[in-house]
A = this chain, B = another copy of it.
Amino acid sequence: MTKVTAQMSVSLDGFYAGPRHDGDGDWLQSAESAKFFRVTRWVINAMAWRERQGFAGGEQDVNSDIMAETFEAAGAYVMGRRMADGGEVPWGDEPPFRAPVFVVTHRPRPILARQGGTSFTYVTDGIHSAVEQAKAAAGGKNVAVAGGGTLLRQVLAAGLLDELELHIVPVVLGTGMRLLDADLGLGDKEGIELIPTRVVHTPDVTHVRYSVDGRAPLLLDDRGSGA
């Protein structure tokens, strides 16, 4: 059955990048990129990621296996507009997705077909529509929410996410863009419950996969005194 999945590299304090670089100047010299580079360093070192980019070398280790598995499981992607725009040039003629990508945007645009199986379809009627179109295109594989963080939160808040894998990188960054931030629309005494289904531990990163159980009220207990 097609699941809607997402995976993201985050620091121990939950950041996937530094503070958003909106102004002039070189993104590569920004705090956004410095912190993004730190949390994705394990990805850059993974052979399975490097192969998709056409780069030689890399480590053939458990981190690479997880990256390979992540690519293999996805039959289609859903992506935010900022990520799609930012990647368009660096991903080049043969982007690493090798599957249809559905970009959530307000701006209509013709389908962009690339080599190697990747195409970008621009969806202007919202995340539910983008997820539905991706499911129909996934060929029985999963729909992966590629990012960025804002789209991932929207998909989680809308109850559309079945599985979340966090790659928790052992660094505290202090400031930046948080994956799980306050705009989830949760009530004061409400949470989104998950079930951890797999933990893989390496020196560089801890991979924790969750099945998303959904919103639930937070209940008080008697702190053990009455049991």
Interface: A11 (CB within 8 A): yes
Interface pair B50/A224, CB less than 8 Å apart: yes
Q: What's the tally of chain A residues with a CB closer than 8 Å to chain B?
A: 62
Complex partner residue of A56 from B45, B189, B196, B227, CB under 8 angstroms? B227
Give per-residue flags for A173-215: 1 if the beta carbon is below 8 A from chain B beta carbons, else 0: 1110010111011101111111110010101001010100000
Stretch in A36-44, A67-75, A77-85, A129-137 with 4+ CB within 8 Å of B: A36-44
A160, CB-defined interface residue at 8 Å: no
The answer to whether A171 has its CB under 8 Å from any CB of chain B is yes
Interface presence of A172 (CB below 8 A): yes
Q: Which B residues are in CB contact (< 8 Å) with A35?
A: 189, 191, 218
Q: Is the CB–CB distance between B221 and A44 below 8 Å? A: yes
A225 to B53, alpha carbons, bound, how many Å?
Answer: 9
Complex Cα distance A166/B14, Å?
A: 13
Residues in A1-58 with C-beta less than 8 Å from chain B: 11-14, 18-19, 28, 31, 33-35, 37-38, 41, 44-45, 49-50, 53, 55-58
Which of B171, B194, B206 is in CB contact (< 8 Å) with A193? B171
Q: Which residues of B contact A196 (CB under 8 A)?
A: 170, 201, 203, 206
The answer to whether B172 and A186 touch across the interface, beta carbons within 8 angstroms, is: yes
CB closest chain-B residue, reference A175? B182
Task: Indicate whether A210 sits within 8 Å of B55 (C-beta atoms), given known contacts A174-B186, A194-B172.
Answer: no
In-complex Cβ contact of A221 among B37, B192, B201, B227 (8 A): B37
Q: Measured between alpha carbons, how far is A64 from B34 in the docked complex, in Å?
A: 40
**Which residues, 110 to 140 on A, are CB-close (under 8 Å) to B?**
none
Q: Is A168 at the interface (CB under 8 A from chain B)?
A: yes
Instruction: Say whether B195 contacts A206, CB under 8 Å.
Output: no
Identify 4 new A-B residue pairs, CB closer than 8 A, beyond the known A38-B218, A57-B227, A175-B188. A34-B219, A34-B220, A49-B224, A175-B186
The 10 listed contacts between A and B (C-beta, < 8 Å) are A18-B189, A34-B189, A37-B220, A57-B224, A172-B180, A174-B190, A174-B192, A175-B182, A196-B203, A199-B201
